[in-house]
Amino acid sequence: MALVGLAAMSARVVAQSSAPRNGATIAVDAGVRRAERAITVTVADASRNDAASDAALRAGATVTSAAQSAPREAVMLWGGDLVPHQEVLRSFAAKGGASLYAPIVASLRAADLAMLNFETPAAPSRPIPTSQMQFNVHEDFVRALAEAGIDAVSVANNHGYDAGVDAVGETVRTLRAARVVPMGGALENEDPLEPSRFTVLGETLCALAATRLLNFDMVVPAAGRPRLGIARESERPERDAFIAAVRRAKTNGCAAVLVSLHSGTEYTDEPEARDRTFFRRCAEAGADVVIGHHSHTPHPVEQYRVPGSDRVVTIFYSLGNFLSNQGAAAEAGISNSPGNHNVNFDARTREALLAVLRFRRPRAGVLEVSRAGWVPLWTINAPLRRRSGEAQTIQAALMPRDGANDPLLTARWNGLVRRIGRDTLLAREEVPAWQEAYAASDLAVTTARAEARRPARSTR
C-alpha cells in the first residue's frame, strides 16, 4: 500500500509482517476515501511519528477508524500504460517525482486501491537505457509512484524482460520495498500466475496479470527463475494455464477476480478478434472485470453477458497510456498519411481511460462490482516554448469535461466518447476526490495548452 505522504490523513496504519510477497494479502477496510477507513498493511511507514499508532504497532494491534461501522463501498482506479520515455525521465528528474502525477494525485490517494500497467523493469543495479524502445527505472521513480498513491502494478508486459530475466526478480523486490504490489511478476520460488490478494470490505479480492506478447524471441524462463505471467496467443498451453488460474482463483477463496492483460496491436481503435475471444474466455472462467492495455490508444468498453448465466462482466479492451511521451506533436490531432503512422502526431496516444470500479459486499464471501465505467485522461506533454535544454513538463491529468471549449480537447473528447461508448462514461462526481482532482487537472491542462501557443522564449 502506498503510504508516503499520508501522515496527515486520519486513517491509522499498522505494520503486520515483512514486505509483501507474491500472493500476499493487503487488507483494506474500505470506505470511499482513504482518510475515512482503517488500513492494515504489511510494512510500517517509518516516517510516521504518531504516538498512538506507534503504541499499536508495538502491541501488534489494528487501529480502527470510526467510519468502519457505517455501510459503504470500496472504489478502485485502474490506469493504462506508464511508459518511462526519456522525456518522461527528464521531466521527473527536473521537476520532481510528484510533478508527473500532480493533477490526478488527489484521486489516486483517495481511492481504496489504485493500479496501472508498469511498462518497464525497475532494476537499480542496471543502467537506464537511452533507447526509446527499451526501458528501466530505479528506486526513486518507484518511490514517487508509491507516494502518488499507486498500490499495485502489472509488470507482465512486453517490456518486462527489457533488462534481462534476473532483472524481473530485482523489479519485484524494488516494487515490494516501496510497498507496491507487482502483479504478474514472481521471484525464483514463486508462481507468476498466483493471484495477488487484497482484502477489501473484509473479503478477498484477487488480481491476476499476464502478457500476451513479448519483445524478444526468447526461451521463457522455467520454474526456479524470476518470471512473468505469460499467455501468448501462439502458445495454447500458456493460454490454457492462465484460464485455469482464473478459474482456480474463483473457486479458491476469492470473492472477486480481476484480470489484467497486456495484449493487442499498437495504435488501433478496436481489439482484434483473437483478443475479444481471450478476454471473454477470462470472463467466462470467472473474472469479474477484465482490464486490457498495450495498444497505447483507448479501445471500446464492453458489457459482456456470460453465456448461460446472468453475469455481466465489464471488459476494458485497452485503457491507452496513463503517462508517456507519445503524441507530443499532436496539437492539431492525428497527422499521418495512410500506411505511414507517426506516433508523435497521433493524438489518440495522449488520451486514455481511467477505469473506475466500485465494489460492495452483498453477503459474506461475495464482492460485487456495483459500478464499472471510465472517465477520460489526457497527457500533458506538448513541447512548450522553453529555453534550450529545459525539460518539458509531462503529467497525467483528467481531461477537462467536454473539452472545456478548447477546440483540440473538444474534438478529442467527442471522438473518444464516440469510439468507446457513452453508456460506460461516468460522471466526474464518481471519481474519488473529484473536485480537487478536476480543479487541479483543468488548471494544468489549460495552462499547458496556453503555454504551448505562446511565442518562443529567449534561449539566452
- For residue 333, the model assigns a pLDDT of 53
Instruction: Assess if residue 3 is contained within a domain.
Output: no
CA distances from 340 to 15, 269, 294, 336, 349 (A): 54, 16, 20, 6, 16
Our count of domains for the chain comes to 1
CATH number (domain holding residue 243) = 3.60.21.10
Instruction: Assess if residue 361 is contained within a domain.
Output: yes
Q: Which three cell numbers stand for residue 325?
A: 511521451
- For residue 131, the model assigns a pLDDT of 83
Count Cβ atoms within 10 A of the Cβ of residue 389 and give its class: 0-12 exposed, 13-18 middle, 19 or more buried.
exposed
- For residue 1, the model assigns a pLDDT of 43
Instruction: Assess if residue 451 is contained within a domain.
Output: no
Amino acid identity, residue 375? Answer: V
Instruction: Assess if residue 230 is contained within a domain.
Output: yes
- DSSP, residue by residue, 276-297: HHHHHHHHHHT-SEEEEE-SSS
- As a whole number of angstroms, the distance between CA 114 and CA 108 comes to 6
Instruction: Assess if residue 168 is contained within a domain.
Output: yes
DSSP 3-state of 345: helix
Instruction: Assess if residue 419 is contained within a domain.
Output: no
Instruction: Assess if residue 454 is contained within a domain.
Output: no
Domain that holds residue 300: 13-380
- For residue 43, the model assigns a pLDDT of 28
Answer for the pair 183, 116: CB distance below 8 angstroms, yes or no: no
- As a whole number of angstroms, the distance between CA 106 and CA 422 comes to 25
Count Cβ atoms within 10 A of the Cβ of residue 198 and give its class: 0-12 exposed, 13-18 middle, 19 or more buried.
buried
Q: Which three cell numbers stand for residue 323?
A: 503517462
- For residue 130, the model assigns a pLDDT of 87
For each of the chain's 460 residues, which pLDDT tens digit applies?
443 333 333 222 222 223 344 445 655 544 433 444 333 332 223 233 333 333 332 333 333 333 444 448 999 999 999 999 999 999 999 999 899 999 999 999 999 999 999 999 999 999 999 888 899 999 999 999 999 999 999 999 999 999 999 999 999 999 999 999 999 999 999 999 999 999 999 999 999 999 999 998 888 899 999 999 999 999 999 999 999 999 999 899 999 999 999 999 999 999 999 999 999 999 999 999 999 999 999 999 999 999 999 999 999 999 999 999 999 988 655 555 556 788 988 999 999 999 999 999 999 999 999 999 999 999 999 876 666 678 889 999 999 999 999 988 999 999 999 999 999 999 999 999 999 999 999 999 999 988 777 665 544 4
Instruction: Assess if residue 395 is contained within a domain.
Output: no
- DSSP, residue by residue, 136-155: ---HHHHHHHHHHT--EEE-
In sequence order, what are the residues at sequence separation of 6 or more whose Cβ sits closer than 8 angstroms to the Cβ of residue 89? Answer: 128, 137, 141
